[in-house]
Amino acid sequence: MPTRLAQVGHHQEAKREASNAWVLLSTEEISVSADVIDGIAVASRILSDTAVRAAQFAEIAGRKPCLATVLVGDDPASHTYVRMKTNRCRTVGLESKSHRLSQTATTTEVVTLVARLARDITVDGILVQHPMPNQVDERQVFEAITPTKDVDGVTGASFAAMALGDKGFASCTPGGIMHLLDAYGVDPSGQRAVVVGRSPILGKPVGMLLLARDATVTYCHSKTADLPGVVSEADIVVTAVGRPELIKGNWIKAGAVVIDAGYNPGNVGDVEYSAAAQRARLITPVPGGVGPTTIAVLLAQTVDAAESAHSVA
152 is catalytic: yes
Helices (H) and strands (E) in the chain, counts: 10, 12
Strands 66-72 and 125-128, how do they pair?
Answer: parallel
Q: Between the CA of residue 207 and those of 48, 68, 211, 215, what are the distances in Å?
A: 28, 28, 6, 9
The CB-of-217 to ligand NAP minimum distance in angstroms stands at 14
Amino acid at site 23:
V
* Minimum CB–partner distance for residue 286 and ligand NAP (Å): 8
Of residues 93 and 203, the one with the C-beta less far from ligand NAP = 203
Q: Is 181 exposed, middle or buried (0-12, 13-18, 19+ CB in 10 A)?
A: buried
- The answer to whether the CB of 38 falls within 8 A of the CB of 180 is no
Q: Work out the angle between the directed axes of helices 291-309 and 172-183 (0-180°, nearest 10).
A: 110
Closest CB to ligand NAP among 7 and 224? 224
Give whichever of 225 and 313 is closer to ligand NAP, judged by the CB atom.
Answer: 225
Is position 202 an interface residue for ligand NAP (rule: CB under 6 A)? yes
Residue 6 Cβ vs ligand NAP, minimum distance, rounded to whole Å: 36
Which position among 73, 188, 197, 285 is part of the footprint of ligand NAP (CB under 6 A)?
Answer: 197
Asked if 157 touches ligand NAP (CB under 6 A), the answer is no
Determine the Cα–Cα distance for residues 143 and 172; give it in Å rounded to an integer. 17
Interface region with ligand NAP, contact rule CB under 6 A, candidates 25-33, 207-215, 256-264, 275-283: 256-264
Of 99, 100, 243, 310, which lies in the binding site for ligand NAP, with binding defined by CB under 6 A?
243
Contacts with ligand NAP by CB under 6 A: the residue count is 26
Residues 276 and 249: beta-carbon distance below 8 Å: yes
Extended strands (E) in the chain = 6-8, 12-16, 22-24, 35-36, 66-72, 95-101, 125-128, 192-196, 216-220, 236-239, 257-260, 282-283
Q: Which of 64, 85, 149, 204 is labelled catalytic? A: 85
If the CB atoms of residues 73 and 255 are measured against ligand NAP, the closer one turns out to be 73
Helix, coil or strand: residue 242: coil
Binding to ligand NAP, residues 273-302 (CB under 6 A): 290-291, 294
- Contacting range for ligand NAP; rule: CB under 6 A; set: 54-62, 121-129, 156-164, 193-201: 193-201
CA distance 207 to 174: 8
Within positions 68 to 87, which residues make up the interface with ligand NAP, using CB under 6 A? none
Choose, by CB under 6 A, the member of 174, 188, 203, 249 that binds ligand NAP: 203
Nearby residues of 266 by Cβ (< 8 Å), 6 or more positions away: 244
89 touches ligand NAP by CB under 6 A? no
Give the interface with ligand NAP as residue ranges (CB under 6 A): 173, 196-199, 201-203, 220-224, 227, 240-243, 246, 261-264, 290-291, 294
**Which residues belong to the active site?**
85, 129, 152
